[in-house]
Structure 1
Amino acid sequence: MSTKTAYLRGAGDTDPARRVTLDELREHCSSVLRACGLAPAPADLVADSMTDAEARGISSHGVTRTRIYAERLRGGMLDAQAQPVVIREDPASVYLDARNAIGHVGADVGMDLAIERARNGAVGAVGVANSNHCGTLAYYTRRAALAGVAAIAISTAPTTMVYFGGRSRAVGTNPLSIALPRPDGPPITVDMATSATARGKIILANQLGQDIPDGWAVDSEGRPTTDAAAALAGSVTPFGGPKGSGLAMMIDLLAGGMVAGVSGEGIGDMYEDWTRPQRVGHVFITLNPDGWVGSSAFLEHVEDFARRVHDLPPADGFDQVLLPGEVEERALERATRDGVLVSGTVFADLQALADEVGAERQLSGVVDDPSGTDTDSPSGTGA
């Protein structure tokens, strides 16, 4: 395994944060990826996924990921020209080989096929092998829900998490996302890692020279730590102890062992392993309400359920009981209106990266008013 890494510890975020419009951020990231060999369509897809995460307050999967994708493209760890190929299919399912394309491409095609299959019946199922990190799974399940079908997505990840009762890396932070359509609002969306937090949040804290909360990780000796660098050398912990641990194991065996033919240490680490492809596996399952109680009846039930949740009395310190995904939707509304606040460290890295690869775009941004009240989403996802 190579010693190369793309998350060297920063000296702290001393440069001022800058506010950047979503369009400018998206174009900048796409320009960088095109300069690294991606065609315009996949470059735009990856840039949109990262910008969407940034706008929703999920900075761990936002534009800070541009460098690692760029470096893996330049290092030959991703096939910039790869097109997913159907290995096997039937009326309800598809087995797809992503052929080491950047993960967003395999996931995008996989979800499109799952939506198509569900529309032709009651259920669609697509397994994607030989893929890579694909950003937030909610980016894909939300799209299915907007198309009128319910969606479930799972994905493998490299071994960066301990099993419950263990002290060393044994399984990935294998994420899960579920999204349901709504007639009068955005999809109800759950997107979560099986770890106590997404490892990307620890990577971001390390870049910014920040500590992490108790309970997120252990060091290389299996001892709890709040030091981000020690956590990266060690392991993240499963959420809910045996619950997160067991769920991660099942995702590893389904999306990994069954679909991709590889699990556990057979999955390459995007940041630390520069000797082999990742071989990530994804599974997308879609359900067409018309194949069950009917779309109208289901959507009416969902909206009635949503109203009941919103009408619940809130606990102390809360204004309202929210549906899963509503915090992120509100963040997206603010970001669409006001732009997103990019830390000085990440902003400088995006500029430097554009120079390194000869990208056509540069960020401008505006130094932000320090009295702003932007908050980060508590949600977690993926690796």
Structure 2
Amino acid sequence: MSEEITISLQDAESLSLAVLQHNGYSQAHAEAITCNVLAVQRDECHSHGLYRLIGCVQTALNGGVDPRAEPTITDQAASVVRVNANRGCSLLSFERGKPHLIEKAKRSGIAALAINNSFHFSALWPEVEALSAQGLVALAMTPSHAFVAPAGGTSPLLGTNPIAFSWPRPGNTPYTFDFATSVVARGEIELHRRAGKTIPEGWAIDSDGNTTTDPVAALAGAMLPFGNYKGSALSTMVELLAGPMIGDLLGHETQAANAEKTGKPFHGELIIAISPEAFLGKDTEGHLKHAETLFEEIVGQGARLPSQRRFEARERSRANGITFPKALYDELRALAAQA
């Protein structure tokens, strides 16, 4: 078993900021990225936590992101705000566009934030939860590079194309889910590769289209959609809504950053916010209480709600700090020390 280390949330925040700012990211970008990866690490979602800082640094070194880009905001329509990331990280664009999205959703009942021309690497649930904390129902989606074969196919065409949703629950943690439309997130396969572990059957195929448990062969081949044609159809929906619908690229038209600096890792993200109060007026509280009966029935059968384990992990991390492999900690310390 690999050696682990436990550090406080404050120390993890300082480490993340140092890694990013010592490797070219502006303070604004460093703070936006740190807010996301620290929230994810705190909730013990390791594939999208502090580990992702390594990719942020490498992508910047390979010219795949402008670490000092300033987003451009456009008031597109009564219920639409657009943010051009200008080849910067999507997280700062979300932070800059969020106040406009909230205002439009509360005024109009439903609103959309389109982020274009952005480098995206992060989990989506911190974004939708930030909106549900404002009393809004939120849905977010983004395509990724072509890593996934469509159902029945043998080569990469679709992205992992995650979808996230959050429903506000006054006095309780929100109902939130965030999942890739592939069987697993690509980061899970990368973590298996780093740890020298095999992956389960059904996650991916190799470059010849054969099922594989070798993470290296999987990364060189294609991941598979969850639920066969159902996941494939949802993935296609994400490609369309967060691609052509907002004037951006399809996943297979982008490429990850590389050492030759020929990659094109920029694409779009779509976030939709809905105001229960705008739809329901004085009856809002009653209908939100009505929604609680569904959650109670789920739990009453012995099932768990999505993110339940995350919220439990959050409390552990707040009390005890975060625990992760020491090898990763040492790698991040080295990145934080380099100029």
TM-score scaled by structure 1? 0.84
Q: Which of 331, 336, 355 lines up with 2:313 in the alignment?
A: 331
Deviations 1:19-71 (A, max 9, x none): 12121112101111011222223212211211111121211101111111012
Q: 1:149: which partner in 2?
A: 136
| Residues 53-108 of structure 1 deviation map (CA, whole Å, 9 limit, x = unaligned) | 11212111011111110122233321122122134512211122111111211233
Alpha-carbon distance in 2 for matches of 1:289, 1:313? 28
Question: Residue in 1 aligned with 2:294?
Answer: 305
Which residue matches 1:172?
Answer: 159
Q: Which segment is superposed worse, 331-340 or 68-77?
A: 68-77
Runs of 4+ in 1 over 6 A off after TM superposition: none
C-alpha distance in structure 2 between counterparts of 1:274 and 1:36, whole Å? 17
Partner of 2:245: 258
Report the TM-score, using the length of structure 2 for normalisation. Answer: 0.94
- Match of 1:212, SS state, is coil
Distance (Å, rounded) in 2 between the aligned partners of 1:52 and 1:271: 28
Preserved CA contact (<8 Å) 1:107 1:134: no
1:151-200 per-position Cα deviation (integer Å, ceiling 9, x unaligned): 00010100000000011111100010000100121111010100000001
- Pairwise CA distance, 1:272: 8.0
Query: Which residue of 42, 55, 58 corresponds with 2:45?
Result: 58
Report the identity percentage. Answer: 29
Q: How does 1:273-352 map to 2 (within 5 A)?
A: 274-294=261-281, 295-310=284-299, 312-314=300-302, 321-352=303-334
Q: Which runs of 5+ in 1 are unaligned?
A: 1-12, 315-320, 359-383
Contact in 1 for aligned 2:15/2:333 (Cα 8 Å): no
- Structure 2 distance, partners of 1:261, 1:47, is 26
The one of 240, 255, 268 equivalent to 2:227 is: 240
How far apart are 1:273 and its partner, in Å? 7.7
More helix by share: 2
What letter is aligned with 1:54?
A: Q
- The aligned counterpart of 1:376 is none
- C-alpha displacement of 1:265: 2.0
Shift in CA distance, 56/270, structure 1 to aligned 2, threshold 3 Å: farther
CA RMSD of aligned residues (A): 1.8
Q: How many residues align?
A: 337
Shift of 1:325: 1.4
Q: Distance in 2 between matches of 1:172 and 1:32?
A: 28
Alpha-carbon distance in 2 for matches of 1:276, 1:256: 18
Which piece of structure 1 moves more, 228-237 or 295-304?
Answer: 295-304
Q: Deviations over 1:282-328 (max 9, x none)?
A: 00100000121233233222333333332x232xxxxxx22221111
**C-alpha distance in structure 2 between counterparts of 1:74 and 1:112, whole Å:** 31
Structure 2 residues without counterparts, runs of 5 or longer: none
